Each structure stands twice: as structure tokens, then as C-alpha cells.
Amino acid sequence: MYRSRLNSDLSGITLEYVSSIRDDSQIALYDIIGSQAHTLMLYQNEIISKVDVTKILSALEDLKKSEFGDIESSDTEDIHELIESLVIQKAGMASGGKMHTARSRNDQVVLDLRMKIRDDILVLCNCILDTSEALVSVAKDNQKTIMPLYTHLQQAQAGLLSHYFLAHADVLLRDFERLYETFQRVNHSPLGAGPVGGTSIPIDRQSTASMLGFDSIVENSIDATSTRDFVLEYVSVVSILMTNLSKIAEDFVIWSTSEFSFIELADEFTSPSSVMPQKKNPDILELTRGKTAEVIGNLTMMLTTVKGLASGYGRDLQQIKSSIWSTSKISISALIIMKSILLTLKINKKQMKKVTESSNLVALDVAEKLVQKGIPFRITHKIAGLLTQYAHQSKKPVSKLSMIDIKNSVKDTEVDPKVLSAIISDITVVSSLKERKSFGSSGYDEQKRMIKDRVQKINDLRTNVTSLENHIQSSLASLQSQIDSITKKKK
Ligand code: ARG
């Protein structure tokens, strides 16, 4: 449709090489709605006539009901060309040929991307809240489930399983915050920027922005058409989110081994082996790890595309679109699946407790008890270390050391073995967790407080997402009613 300056058409293979039509089905509806807002604005500013606006809007309404046919087999360069040519077919050149007045595919495509990404962000925000809610609910059920906490994947301190789930809820809520902030930078309209430098036609950019539910406009037309920082920001933030989900996946893969046996995944989240009948493999979680790599790959692809581009639109930018779709699809599915895995997880509380009690995880508690008796921590650390070493060598837990064992193990220190023995016989994993009072710790009391707090936080954040959704929906609904009032008059 656009080739008047050129003498020949693209050959089949070149057209396929150039065309983004395969990727464009994801933005077709945004392109139609954006075109409707643009057309309405042209009419309201007396740039096109009543007859023109009516015909163009009706043609676009018909396209919404999807009369595209097989988009992918069309011989157009992209969805923008396809929609414009269909509008011209339906409305006639005299009116349809006016739709593209004062805009360009360069502001059009970036408009579509902003509308698509803002919707994806809102879906993701809701999914994050659902998964966080699942984490908090599993935490609620496991406030008394004792487990070993790890550093270097070595047992470190006794803890509570609720504390683990709450940690990941907090991580996801930060992912939420990052996405929510990204939304504020995405939700600006580039429409009306034209190819790069604006237009002489008296358009009203503010009016299309508000019809489409944008908070404001991307003012500078060079910036509006050529910058993709909002896409990079979105995919970066989602990459971080995916690495967080991937870490949970890795923990669960380890915990579901027969060596750990801390959890059992529900059957629907495992795969069998084609050859070993006994196997129940955590393939779904492994794929969360694997797909995280794909999202990071998408980010790398985009950064590499953008870094060497001259300012102003370059066709290279077309290539980043499918990576946006893949990023959104993977992350939304990963969150939905993680939520269901959490809610169907079988937790082997006995095994977690057994492992915790069989290791000398109270060593730090012994040292801290001695600190309360006025001994410097560096010395109490040494005393607890000697005790643990002695216990390890005599193949007994610290709690089972006799008076003689205790005397022998700390003979080179000044601590009174009787005091030490009294401390050891008083300390259990449960007592240790009762006394763990520091803010945000694994202590019993802290679990209750944090759960209550996070339940409230998630509810508040839901209200914030709903208000963003409502704003967009009500803007689009009022655009639709303006369209209806014009197109219905025609019938
Ligand atoms: N299909 C193109 C894309 O996805 C649309 C913009 C084309 N603009 C141009 N000046 N060739 O980026």
C-alpha cells in the first residue's frame, strides 16, 4: 500500500522477512482502539467530516468483531497496514483514506506496545498478589512447623516454615512494587508524535491520551517514537520476578528429593519417567528455572537491539515485539502455576522436625545464653564451638552430652561446666524459637505479627490495582459510547 516511491514489489521471501504480521495479532485490538481514538479526535478538531468519522469508526467496529481472516497469510508488512487497507476497503478511499492523517506507524506501534504492556502489568500484578496470598496462607498453616534454615545449603539455625514462606511473599511484594512503578512510566501516550518530528495538522494529543486512559503524554515526539526504555524496564522487572520464582522452584526441587523428603508435590505438578516406573519428577518446577533463562534471554536480546540504534525509529525495533509477548506469557503462567503448587503442597512436618532436632542447631542459642551471663560473645562462640566439636566427635547431639563430656570439652575455658550444663538442658528447638524475639525473626510471635501485616498489605495493594484497572476501563467505556453514538446514528 505504501510503495508509490518504489518501482517494484517485495518478493515473497523478502516480504516474509520484513513483515511483523505474525507477531502482530497480539496488538491488533489495541491498534483498532487507538485508531478509533485518533479518528474521533480528528473529527472533534474539524480535521475530518461527520461522514468520514462515521464510516471509519463503523469499519473499525466491524474489524473488532474480527473479520481479519487469516492475518498471517496477508501480504502486508504489518497489522497497521492491514487494518488501514481493510478500513479503506470498507469505508472507501474518500473517507477511509483519511484515517492515517497526522500519524505514522511509528507512533502507532509504540502506542500499541504501551497499551499491551500496561494490560500485562495489571494481569501480572493480580497474579503476584494471588501467589503472595497463597504463600501467606501456607505460612499461616505452618506457624509451628519446625525446619532447619540454611546458609551455604548447610543447616544454620532452627526456624519455622512459615518464616520461609513469608520471606518469599515479601520478595514477590517487592516485584509487585517494581511493576506498579513501571506502570506509572508506561502509561503515557505517544500517539500524535507522527513519524518523529510531529505534524502541521492541528491535532489534540491530550484528548487521544485521555480517551485511551493514559495518565499523560510522552511529550517529545523523537522520544515518543524511538525510545523503548519502558519495554526494557518492564522486561528487566519481570526478569527479576522470574529469578525469584526460580529460586523457590529450586528449593522445592531439592526439598522433594528422597534425601530431603521435606515436601511432596501434588501429582498434577510432576511428570513420570518414560522408563523408570517409580519416578515422580519435578519437571514443572524445572521448567520455571528453564523459562527464567528464556526471559533473561529476552532482556539481553532487547538491550542488544537498542544499544546501537541511532535516534529515531529503526526497523530493528520490530524484532523486540515477540520477546515482549514471550516474557508476559511465561511470567503469568509461572505465577499461576506456582500458586497452585503452593496450595497443593504436602509438607512432611515430622521429617523437617526430625532433621532440625538431629543437628546441633542450638549452638548459637547456647552462646547467646552465656552472653546473657555477661561473657563476651567471642568467648561464648568459642565455648559453643568446642561443645559442638566434642559432640560431633563423640557422635552425640549437644543435648545428650553428660556432665563429664561438658567438663572435658570446655576444660581450656573459664566457663563453669555446671552453668553450661544447666543451659544445655534447658534449651530445645521449641524454647529457642520462643525466645527468638528480634523483629522479623523466626520466633513464634513474629510469625503471627508478620502474617497479619502481610494479609492487610495484600488487601491494600489489591485496591490500588483495581483503581488503575477502573481508570482504564472507564476511559475505554466512554470512548466506546462516543463511538456507538456516532456509528448508531448511521444505521
Ligand atoms: N511493523 C513495524 C514495527 O513493528 C511498524 C512500524 C514500521 N515503521 C516504519 N517506518 N517502517 O515496528
For position 397, which CATH number holds? 1.10.40.30
Mean pLDDT of 62-77: 80
CB 179 within 8 A of CB 185: no
Greater confidence (296 vs 277) lies with: 296
Q: Does 95 lie in the same domain as 18?
A: yes
Is 325 within a domain?
A: no
Residues with CB under 6 A from ligand 1: 20, 78, 80, 105-106, 109, 313, 315, 317-318, 321
CB 424 within 8 A of CB 430: no
Domain boundary residue, one of 414, 435, 456: 435
Residue 491: predicted pLDDT:
46
Is 152 within a domain?
A: no
Tell me, in angstroms, the distance from the centre of ligand 1 to residue 321's CA.
11
Q: Which helix (H) or strand (E) holds 232?
A: helix 229-255
* 156 pLDDT more than 50: yes
Does residue 66 sit in helix, strand or coil? Answer: coil
For position 61, which CATH number holds? 1.10.275.10
- What is the percentage of the chain residues whose pLDDT exceeds 70? 99
346: alpha, beta or left? (left if phi > 0; alpha if psi -120 to 50) = beta
Mean pLDDT of 327-337: 98
CB 377 within 8 A of CB 371: yes
pLDDT 10s digits, 343-368: 999 999 999 999 999 888 888 999 99
188 a catalytic residue: no
Identify the active-site residue in 4, 11, 73, 152: 152
Q: What is the pTM of this model?
A: 0.94
Residue 137: predicted pLDDT:
98
Name the closest-CA residue to atom 11, ligand 1. Answer: 315
Domain boundary residue, one of 416, 435, 454: 435
Lowest mean pLDDT among 175-189, 293-307, 388-402: 388-402
pLDDT 10s digits, 113-153: 999 999 999 999 999 999 999 999 999 999 999 999 999 99
Is 177 within a domain?
A: no
Identify the active-site residue in 25, 216, 273, 481: 273
Probe target for ligand 1 pocket from 15, 16, 19, 20, with the most ligand atoms within 8 Å of CB: 20
Tell me, in angstroms, the distance from the centre of ligand 1 to residue 56's CA.
22
> Can you read off the three cell numbers belonging to residue 165?
514462606
Q: Does 21 lie in the same domain as 100?
A: yes
Residue 359: predicted pLDDT:
83
Judging by beta carbons within 10 Å of its beta carbon (0-12, 13-18, 19+), is residue 328 exposed, middle or buried?
Answer: buried
> What's the distance, CA 121 to chain centroid?
8
Mean pLDDT, all residues of the chain: 94
Greater confidence (196 vs 397) lies with: 196
pLDDT 10s digits, 223-264: 999 999 999 999 999 999 999 999 999 999 999 999 999 999
CA 383, CA 381: separation in Å to the nearest integer?
6
Is 51 within a domain?
A: yes
Is 29 within a domain?
A: yes
Q: How confident is the model at residue 273 (pLDDT cuts 50, 70, 90)?
A: confident
CB 263 within 8 A of CB 256: yes
Is 58 within a domain?
A: yes
Name the closest-CA residue to atom 2, ligand 1. Answer: 318
Residue 489: predicted pLDDT:
55
Tally of domains within the chain: 2
Q: Does 36 lie in the same domain as 101?
A: yes
Is 338 within a domain?
A: no
38 a catalytic residue: no
What domain range is 50 assigned to?
12-105+482-490
Probe target for ligand 1 pocket from 315, 321, 322, with the most ligand atoms within 8 Å of CB: 315
CA 114, CA 108: separation in Å to the nearest integer?
10
Tell me, in angstroms, the distance from the centre of ligand 1 to residue 185's CA.
22
Nearest ligand 1 atom to the CA of 313 is 10
Name the closest-CA residue to atom 4, ligand 1. Answer: 318
CA 83, CA 103: separation in Å to the nearest integer?
14
Nearest ligand 1 atom to the CA of 317 is 12
Residue 67: predicted pLDDT:
61
Mean pLDDT of 411-438: 92
CA 168, CA 170: separation in Å to the nearest integer?
5
pLDDT 10s digits, 102-119: 999 999 999 999 999 999
* 425 pLDDT more than 70: yes
**Dihedral, CA of residue 440, residue 441, residue 445 and residue 450, to nearest 10:** 30
Residue 270: predicted pLDDT:
87
Is 75 within a domain?
A: yes
Nearest Cα to Cα of residue 195 among 265, 88, 104? 104
Nearest ligand 1 atom to the CA of 23 is 4
Tell me, in angstroms, the distance from the centre of ligand 1 to residue 188's CA.
20
Mean pLDDT of 5-30: 89
Tell me, in angstroms, the distance from the centre of ligand 1 to residue 77's CA.
8
Tell me, in angstroms, the distance from the centre of ligand 1 to residue 152's CA.
49
Return the ∠ at Cα 193 (arms to 187 and 197), rounded to 5°.
Answer: 140
pLDDT 10s digits, 406-419: 999 999 898 999 99
